[in-house]
């Protein structure tokens, strides 16, 4: 029964998201802003392509977390970008899920509510590895405890950029 309820909840949320897109298109159509309509359609198409690609990593819990994150969080919007020839990350699933959960939780806890906060997670697949980039844009309240946070990830996670309005982290997973 729980599985059926989960499916119904997913369908309800998907329908809600599509209705929002249709309202945007309808509003811009009424305003005769055809260029904006084309932009909206391109964004939705690109998002759908990335969601399809991320589903191919064969790490179900990670895919579920990433694709449903925005349903449960209103403080920070998560976007996904996928580049390269996707391969399985199934053997890294537990580690990858923990990494995604902990980084998004830390950023969500430290971002302010008076600013639009966005996190773009990019999966760059190359022949031998998948490099993840966590690119936060918004406003962070504090940033002094990041070194201790990163220490527990040993050398797997690197801080590329950190200031009040941006935080960029990278991590990589080798192809199995």
Q: What is the pLDDT of residue 169?
A: 94
The order of strands in the sheet holding 166-174 is 77-83, 118-125, 129-137, 166-174, 157-163
Count of C-beta atoms within a 10 Å radius of residue 23: 10
Tokens 């064969």 map to which residue? 58
pLDDT above 90 coverage of the chain, percent: 62
Query: What pLDDT digit, counting tens, does each position of 44-56 carry?
Result: 999 899 999 999 9
Instruction: Please state whether 38 falls in left (phi above 0), alpha (psi between -120 and 50) or beta.
Output: alpha
Residue 151 phi, psi dihedral angles, 5° rounding: -60, -35
pLDDT at residue 142 above 80? no
Measure the CA–CA gap between 18 and 16, rounded to whole angstroms. Answer: 6
pLDDT above 70 coverage of the chain, percent: 98
pLDDT at residue 170 above 90? yes
Measure the CA–CA gap between 108 and 102, rounded to whole angstroms. Answer: 10
* pTM: predicted TM-score of the whole model, two decimal places: 0.86
Measure the CA–CA gap between 72 and 84, rounded to whole angstroms. Answer: 29
Q: Checking DSSP bridges between strand 77-83 and strand 118-125, what pairing results, if any?
A: parallel
Q: What is the pLDDT of residue 9?
A: 80
Among candidates 66, 69, 93, 70, which has minimal Cα distance to 80?
66
Is residue 157 within 8 Å of 132, Cβ to Cβ? no
- Under CATH, which number does the domain 58-174 receive? 3.30.565.30
- For the chain, domain boundaries: 58-174
């Amino acid at each position: 029964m729980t599985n059926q309820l989960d499916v119904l909840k997913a369908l309800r949320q998907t329908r809600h998201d599509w209705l929002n897109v249709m309202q945007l298109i309808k509003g811009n159509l009424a305003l005769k802003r055809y260029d904006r309509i084309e932009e909206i359609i391109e964004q939705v198409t690109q998002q759908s392509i990335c969601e399809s690609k991320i589903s191919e990593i064969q790490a179900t819990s990670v895919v579920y977390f990433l694709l449903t994150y925005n349903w449960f969080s209103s403080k920070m919007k998560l976007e996904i970008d996928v580049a390269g020839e996707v391969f399985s990350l199934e053997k890294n699933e537990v580690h990858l899920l923990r990494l995604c959960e902990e980084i998004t939780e830390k950023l969500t806890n430290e971002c302010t509510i008076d600013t639009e906060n966005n996190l773009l997670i990019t999966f760059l697949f190359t022949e031998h590895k998948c490099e993840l980039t966590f690119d936060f844009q918004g406003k962070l309240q504090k940033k002094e405890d990041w070194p201790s946070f990163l220490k527990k990830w040993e050398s797997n996670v690197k801080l590329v950029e950190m200031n009040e309005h941006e935080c960029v982290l990278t991590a990589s997973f080798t192809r199995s």
